[in-house]
Amino acid sequence: MDTKLKLENALKDAMRAGDDTGKRTVRMALAAIRMAEIEKGSALDETSLMAILQKEIKGRNEAIREAQQANRPDLVSANEAEFKVLEQYLPKSLSPEELKELVQTVISEVGATTPADMGKVMKALLPRLQGRAPGDQASQMVKQLLQSS
């Protein structure tokens, strides 16, 4: 079952159960997906759906940090609850070791040797991540491995 269908079913379940947090969070994710589909003019593939969910999660993480700085525990807990709802729809995250292994494989496949080759590596790497690791984390790993080679 694809992610969009899972989200639509989760929205129905949250509505039946009276789960306001789940309902609100899934609606926001579906709205972001629909906006991207309208911009693209067609349905999104699974990789694009994962990217949108990653973006939604990143937004929740930023909101949590800002709420902590503002000493607003109510906002922290609300954003953490939304984070947990969204997290269910992403594939299992890669460990740092698994990410490093994948980056090394891609570097050898594209024949990258210097930091100037980072764009080629990222272009080949990002489709393979599919929401299992944030892009900024992958970028740091690529940069680190290319500088040490």
| Domain boundaries, given as residue ranges, for the chain | 3-87, 96-148
Cα separation, 1 vs 122, whole angstroms:
28
Contact residues for 2 (Cβ-Cβ < 8 A; gap 6+): 46, 49
Give yes or no for a contact between 107 and 142, defined as CB atoms under 8 angstroms apart: yes
Amino acid at 99: L
pLDDT band at 21 (very low <50, low <70, confident <90, very high): very high
Considering only CA atoms, which of 89, 22, 15 is closest in space to residue 55?
Answer: 89
The hierarchical CATH code for the domain 96-148 is 1.10.10.410
Architecture in CATH for domain 3-87:
Orthogonal Bundle (1.10)
| The model's pTM | 0.71
- Across residues 52-74, what is the average pLDDT? 92
| Whole-number pLDDT of residue 54 | 84
Does residue 11 surpass a pLDDT of 90?
Answer: yes
**pLDDT confidence bin for 1, thresholds 50/70/90:** low
Selection from 15, 24, 48 nearest residue 34 by Cα: 48
Mind listing the pLDDT tens digit for each residue in 120-148? 888 888 888 876 777 788 888 888 888 87
Given a contact cutoff of 8 angstroms between Cβ atoms, the answer to whether 33 and 48 are in contact is: no
On whether the CB atoms of residues 93 and 99 are closer than 8 A, the answer is no
pLDDT mean over 42-50? 85
- DSSP for 21-55 reads HHHHHHHHHHHHHHHHHHHHTSPPPHHHHHHHHHH
More confident residue, 148 or 13: 13
Q: Can you tell me the distance from the alpha carbon of 115 to that of 147, in angstroms, rounded to the nearest whole number?
A: 6
Per residue in 64-122, pLDDT (tens digit) is 999 999 999 999 999 999 999 998 888 788 888 888 898 889 888 888 888 888 888 88
